């Protein structure tokens, strides 16, 4: 519990200063409490502000580590649902919503997923991504409608993201998702209630502590959220066979940067020269995983794709 702002003690000759007892916080949510270490941030130099924020950011990784078992549980849930043809759907508002949309949007270019497989639902829609529409988060019925619009099914996993744990849009979406039979999870940065934990398949709560600027959850809470989402989506893609070793072999060439990366993956995994790797990548249709199987088995692209499909997409399981 952070210290309340100290009231100045009445100075008396030779009398020691007494610190008044800390007042209870006005808001029980950890994300809304005052950080005692930044009470005087407005009096600091630029370098001191940097050092203070950096010191607070060091607390984030440890808080995420404390949730490792629940993050792993979320990965298993996502793999189960995606393996059955379901989807991973993030739901959030403000910074939390934008981070969900960001993670979802990075799946197709990184792991060659169908754009529908991982989705981000944002309170206020597309416009809220570019310009804050904070009032959009206050309507649980809009969250519920978003689940109906996406025809959420039992094989979907819906993860609500709300640093404070109280966003009505997110709660409305998750309630409707449960009603429709979906698996659900909640990611927040304040201690979850027992009711919240009982309502969902997994609840992840990295407790990063009060923000440097009170209530500004775009800071430590957002950093923790990004770390957790990275772990969940990346872990799920690894388990689904979209990574070989630590290489993103399900990469689909869509630009010069990815052409270069794809060629280098083939050069390293197959011991090829750059020109030969480029020709193989072109023959595969720009799909690194297909190119690897083509070379190892001495087959054409269509056959390589069939073998991969039979092996569930895993290069290691291809025969």
- Which sequence positions are flagged as catalytic? 106, 137
How far, in Å, CA of 45 to CA of 164, rounded? 30
How far, in Å, CA of 77 to CA of 83, rounded? 10
How far, in Å, CA of 134 to CA of 94, rounded? 7
Query: What does the block give as tokens for 25?
Result: 């916080």
Q: Is the distance from CB of 251 to CB of 261 less than 8 angstroms?
A: yes
Total residues found in the chain within this entry:
319
Indicate if the alpha-carbon torsion angle 38, 39, 42, 43 is positive or negative.
negative
Neighbouring-strand partners of residue 158: 89, 184
Distances (CA, A) of 219 to 54, 214, 216, 278, 305: 11, 10, 6, 42, 44
Q: Is the distance from CB of 289 to CB of 244 less than 8 angstroms?
A: yes
Q: Is the distance from CB of 212 to CB of 219 less than 8 angstroms?
A: yes
Angle at 140 between CA 26 and CA 151, to 5 degrees: 145
């Amino acid at each position: 519990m952070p210290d309340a702002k100290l009231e100045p003690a009445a100075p008396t000759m030779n009398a020691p200063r007494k610190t008044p007892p800390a007042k209870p916080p006005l808001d029980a949510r950890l994300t809304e409490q005052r950080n005692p270490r930044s009470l005087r941030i407005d009096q600091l130099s630029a370098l001191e502000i940097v050092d203070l924020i950096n010191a607070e950011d060091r607390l984030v990784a440890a808080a995420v580590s404390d949730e490792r078992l629940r993050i792993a549980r979320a990965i298993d849930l996502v793999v189960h649902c995606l393996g059955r043809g379901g989807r991973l759907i993030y739901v959030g508002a403000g910074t939390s919503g934008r981070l969900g949309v960001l993670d979802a949007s990075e799946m197709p270019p990184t792991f060659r997923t169908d754009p529908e497989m991982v989705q981000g639902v944002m309170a206020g829609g597309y416009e809220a991504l570019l310009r804050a529409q904070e009032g959009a988060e206050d309507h649980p019925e809009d969250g519920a409608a978003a689940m109906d619009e996406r025809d959420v099914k039992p094989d979907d996993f819906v993860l609500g993201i709300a640093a404070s744990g109280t966003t009505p849009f997110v709660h409305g979406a998750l309630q409707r998702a449960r009603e429709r039979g979906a698996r659900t999870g909640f990611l927040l940065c304040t201690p979850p209630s027992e009711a919240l934990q009982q309502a969902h398949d997994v609840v992840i709560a990295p407790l990063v502590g009060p923000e440097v600027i009170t209530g500004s959850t775009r800071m430590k809470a957002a950093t923790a959220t990004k770390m957790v989402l990275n772990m969940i989506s990346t872990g799920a893609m690894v388990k689904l066979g979209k990574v070989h070793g630590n290489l993103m072999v399900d990469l689909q060439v869509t630009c010069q940067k990815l052409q270069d990366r794809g060629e280098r993956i083939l050069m390293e995994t197959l011991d090829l020269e750059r020109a030969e790797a480029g020709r193989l990548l072109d023959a595969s249709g720009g799909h690194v995983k297909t190119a690897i199987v083509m070379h190892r088995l001495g087959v054409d692209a269509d056959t390589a794709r069939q073998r991969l499909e039979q092996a569930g997409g895993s290069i290691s399981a291809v025969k």
